[in-house]
A and B are shown apart, each in its own frame.
Chain A
Amino acid sequence: MHPTTSRRRVVRTLALTVALVSTLTLTVRAAPAPELKFTTANGPLALESLRGKVVYLDYWASWCVPCRHSFPWMNEMQARFGDQGLVVLAVNVDADRAEAQKFLAAQLAKFTVAFDPNGDTARTMQLKGMPTSFLIDRNGNIVSSHVGFRETDRQPREAEIRALLASKSK
């Protein structure tokens, strides 16, 4: 947990200052994301197929309160940065799909939603809490991960996304 926190701090600081330096840091720290296969409402989706995009991979559940707070923010990110290559992929881990659908009826998701009712990919990704999100660069490397979603996380996470979008679009 501590490496993640310190990594986040490093990434945040650098991303907010010089994009060039942060590119270097991210590359150094990055680890390739495992090959994950998801089920979405529109059929199967392999994480690999999103190569070339910046992926914000989020794990959520209907019973998780901070998850609810993260939805408007993820909508906003998808709307603003989608055309720059951001894909928000929100994986639901409810055992009961009906609970997820009820949640989605109340919280409109304007991004890709996948379902992992058995937690198979959640186990692979070794989630430490709910929600957990991973930021994956255009080469398929995980550059950071975050546990929880707080009001104060919005700005730094957005900055991270922006830095990552900028660094690879040159």
Chain B
Amino acid sequence: MQLKPKQTPSIRQALTVAACTLLSAPAVRAQGTWELDSSLLFYSEQDRVRAIEPVVRLKKQISEDEHFALQFVADSLTGASPSGAVPTTTPQTFTSPSGNSTYNTPANEIPLDPSFHDTRGAISFDWGRPLSRESRVVYQGHVSKEFDYLSTGVGATLSWDFNQRNTTLAAGASIGYDQVNPVGGAPVGLAPMPTFPTVKATSGDSDTKQLADLLLGVTQIISRTTLMQLNYTYGKESGYLTDPYKLVSVVDAGGNPVETLYEKRPDTRARNALYWRTLSAFGKDRLDFSYRYYWDDWGLRAHTADLRYRFEFGGGHYLEPQLRYSLQSQAADFYRPFLRQGESPQYASADYRLSEMTTSTIGLKYGVATRRDGEFAVRVGYMLQTGEDHPANAPGQLANQDLFPDTKALLFQVNYSLKF
């Protein structure tokens, strides 16, 4: 019975084979091997920095388990940023980084460097391919350019699945080379800012920085609805790690600035982070929690927790509230909101980012699935940074100044993705 059709001429069968092969191949290709991800971020601090940052990521799925992606970023900043100098009861005059002009800070206000504007362009790639049935590698690289900063880097991350794909081990490494060309040259660290039109002493027009990162990670499936990731990362930076635009005030016994110095940081930094993340489904909803403990040899310590809960409303709609809390529990050893007259430390920085502080963010994301496996989403967030307004040892008039005015920022982000 089954033998009968076999007697039909084999040429017809051969033609059928050819036809089916020709027809079916493009059908699969039409499933979508390109993926476009795009985002536009608006970032706005009260009275300070504003930024617009568009990002486009284009990913090509070369085969079932190989991809290549290119990412383009533009970043445009305007506004003013705290210089590190302290406020005082009288107006202050500072020389701008270029040395060509001066700017004034009103009495009792934190000095902001108003010449803060920048445009950045960056291109990065990542290329992931299998090494065997259980392992794969992702190569990555980036070039990023600002008018005073160039950053380059390459890296690779290997991962192995085992325990019937319930466990994945990852090991990664990257190296980076950055070059900074500060406006007006790199100031000599802890040298006094000259009074205009005298030009500051510089150590050169440009300087460099080398970076190396290592990662060890494990991802474990805990249950049908929960997975966890644990990463340890180690990073080493060396070279010019100082911020050429940051200042430190030297104050007298009355807390009045007598001199302003350019900051100076050590020329090496070893960073460590333990990062733990868990994703867990509750029905259709999903919890995303991460915690990071960070420590480095500058003495900085930080605890950072991030909690997101995604409520699924059906039809591809979801709402995801987010809470992030970061506590820098220990400042860098050389963090000094101000120096006292007569002190001559080896390093000093008044950059508030190296101080004890908290950063709290509350956010909400709304997303909706669109055609072609795409998604449209909007994210809003509010970020608040608080620190020590009145350090206990602040002398004289400084005791009455707010040495750490809160930073308040609004974040607004639009995402759109599609496959084609």
Contact = CB atoms under 8 A, between A and B. Distances in A.
Interface string B12-40: 01001100110011011001000000000
Interface residues of B, number: 20
A72 interface: yes
Given A1-B133, A151-B28, A80 B16 contact: yes
B64 A80 contact: no
A129 interface: yes
A85 B2 contact: yes
Interface string B58-75: 000001100000000000
B134 to A, nearest CB: 8
Nearest to A2: B133
Interface string A30-64: 00000000000000000000000000000000000
A169 B6 CA distance: 9
B3 A128 contact: no
A15 B351 CA distance: 71
Contact of A66 (B2, B27, B64): B64
B115 to A, nearest CB: 51
B132 to A, nearest CB: 10
B5 A83 contact: yes
B63 A150 contact: yes
Contact of A169 (B2, B21, B31, B63): B2
A151 B2 contact: no
A84 interface: yes
A69 B31 contact: yes
A76 B19 CA distance: 11
B101 interface: no
B419 to A, nearest CB: 12
Contacts of B31: 68-69
Contact of B2 (A1, A84, A147): A84
Contact of B28 (A1, A5, A72, A85): A72
Contact of B3 (A150, A154, A169): A169
B372 interface: no
B164 interface: yes
15 contacts: A72-B24, A72-B28, A76-B24, A83-B4, A83-B5, A84-B5, A85-B2, A128-B164, A150-B64, A151-B25, A151-B28, A151-B64, A154-B24, A169-B3, A169-B6
Interface of B: 2-6, 13, 16-17, 20-21, 24-25, 27-28, 31, 63-64, 133, 164-165
